[in-house]
Structure 1
Amino acid sequence: MTDGVLPCQSIDALIVEGTILAKGAPITDGQVQPASLDLRLGQRAHRVRASFLAGEGRSVADRLAEFEMHSFAIGNGAVLERGCVYLVPLEEALALPPDLSATCNAKSSTGRLDLLTRVITDDGSEFDRVPPGYRGPLWVEICPRSFSVVIDAGLALCQIRFRRGEARLDDEALASLHEAERLVDRPALIEDGLRFSVDLAREGIVGWRAKPHSGAVDMRRVAAHEAAEFWEPLHARRDHLILDPGAFYILVSREAVHIPPGYAAEMAPYLAMVGEFRVHYAGFFDPGFGHGTPARGVLEVRCHEAPFVLEHGQVVGRLVYERMAERPSRLYGAGLGSNYQGQGLKLSKHFA
Structure 2
Amino acid sequence: MQPASQSDALFEALPEDPRAEHPGEGSRSAFARTGILPCQGIRALIESGEIFGAPEIEASQVQPASLDLRLGKVAYRIRASFLPGPNATVRDKLAELKFHEIDLTKGAVLEAGCVYLVPLIEQLKLRSTIAAFANPKSSTGRLDVFTRLIADYQDGFDAVDEGYSGPLFAEICPRTFSIKVRYGSRLNQIRFRRRVGQQLDADERPGRVRDRALREIHSDVGLVEGEAAIREGLNLSISLAPAQPDGLVGYRARRYAGVVDVDAVGAYPANQFWEGVQLGGDRRFVLDPHEFYILASKESVSVPPAYVAEMAPFDPVIGEYRVHYAGFFDPGFGYAEGKAPGAKAVLEVRCLDIPFILEDGQIVGRLVYDRLTDVPDTLYGQGIGSHYQAQGLKLSKHFKQP
Matched, 1:114 2:144: yes
* Identity, % of aligned positions: 54
Match of 2:107 among 60, 68, 77: 77
Within 5 Å, give how 1:80-229 maps onto structure 2.
80-165=110-195, 166-203=206-243, 204-229=247-272
The Cα RMSD (Å) is 0.9
CA positional deviation for 1:218: 1.1
Distance 1:186 1:128 in 2: 34
Match of 2:43 in 1: 12
Match of 2:308 among 264, 285, 288: 264
CA positional deviation for 1:5: 0.7
Q: Look up the SS of the partner of 1:249 in the other structure.
A: strand
Q: Deviations over 1:97-140 (max 9, x none)?
A: 11001110000000000000000000010000111010000000
CA positional deviation for 1:270: 4.3
Q: TM-score, normalised by structure 1?
A: 0.98
Look at both structures and tell me which one has the larger radius of gyration over its CA atoms: 2
Match of 1:302 among 350, 353, 370: 350
Contact kept in structure 1, 2:314 and 2:321, CA below 8 Å: no
CA positional deviation for 1:269: 2.4
Matched, 1:344 2:344: no
Deviates more, 1:28-37 or 1:263-272: 263-272
CA positional deviation for 1:171: 0.6
Matched, 1:48 2:78: yes
Match of 1:36 in 2: 66
CA positional deviation for 1:93: 0.4
CA positional deviation for 1:21: 1.2
Q: TM-score, normalised by structure 2?
A: 0.86
Q: Deviations over 1:223-273 (max 9, x none)?
A: 000111100101124101111011000000000000001111111124212
Distance 1:234 1:37 in 2: 34
Match of 2:324 in 1: 280
State how many pairs are aligned: 351
* Structure number having the greater strand percentage: 1
CA positional deviation for 1:275: 1.4
Matched, 1:62 2:105: no
Unaligned residue ranges in structure 1 (runs of 5+)? none
CA positional deviation for 1:57: 1.4
Unaligned residue ranges in structure 2 (runs of 5+)? 1-10, 12-32, 196-205
CA positional deviation for 1:274: 1.6
**Which letter maps to 2:124?**
L
Match of 1:332 in 2: 380
Q: Look up the SS of the partner of 2:123 in the other structure.
A: strand
**Which letter maps to 2:39?**
C
Match of 2:27 in 1: none
